[in-house]
Amino acid sequence: MRTPVTLFLLIANIAIFLLQLQASDGLIPRYALWPLGEGFQPWQLVTSAFLHGGMLHLAVNMFGVWTFGRELEQALGPLRFLRLYAVSVLAAAATQLVAVHFGKPVPTVGASGGLFGLLAAYAILFPDRKLLLLFPPIPLPAPLFVVLYAAFELYAGVTGTLSGVAHFAHLGGLAGGLLVLGKRRGRASRR
């Protein structure tokens, strides 16, 4: 089965990254997510999800979108999948805006908020699937993997571990995915 939204996300992110490399003034000053205030513009809630901090950042995010996106788009259909991704991106951006309000004003970029929403949805739709924890390499049921990953993100965000990573955006994306799939499961159980 074809997965047009997943393919679009991959192509769009890669194309915009190539534009980032070519733009002399860079795209980050205008399109990254800046804290509320002077540099903030509403479109940044979406545009920031298509910018990346480097090749590795892009590669990791696109590998995740490709890995989880294909199965999720097949299970949900293109429109529901797009809604899942969009809500996750917006939830990630909103959460990050709240989190950085209390810190120093730095821009946020990356598709990882959307990816974390996909990860949450994957755990809900495929609870018996195993995901491989990298360190140590242990296969875990998808829901347990997500809970452990979320706990790490919360710890890292609160303590400042791995600074330069938008841990709260990741948690916001995860919450967005849970919100979309929770509503879907709630509707199914009422029928």
112 is an active site residue:
yes
Residues 118, 51: Cα–Cα separation, whole Å: 18
CB neighbourhood size of 8 (10 A): 12
Chain centroid to CA 21: 22
Q: Name the one residue in this structure whose structure tokens are 């590998």.
A: 63
Annotated catalytic residue 24: no
DSSP single-letter state for residue 48:
G
Q: Coil, strand, or helix at residue 108? A: strand
Q: Which of 48, 52, 88, 170 is catalytic?
A: 170
Q: Which of 48, 52, 112, 167 is catalytic?
A: 112
Omega before 127 cis (within 30°)?
A: no
Catalytic residue annotation: 112, 170
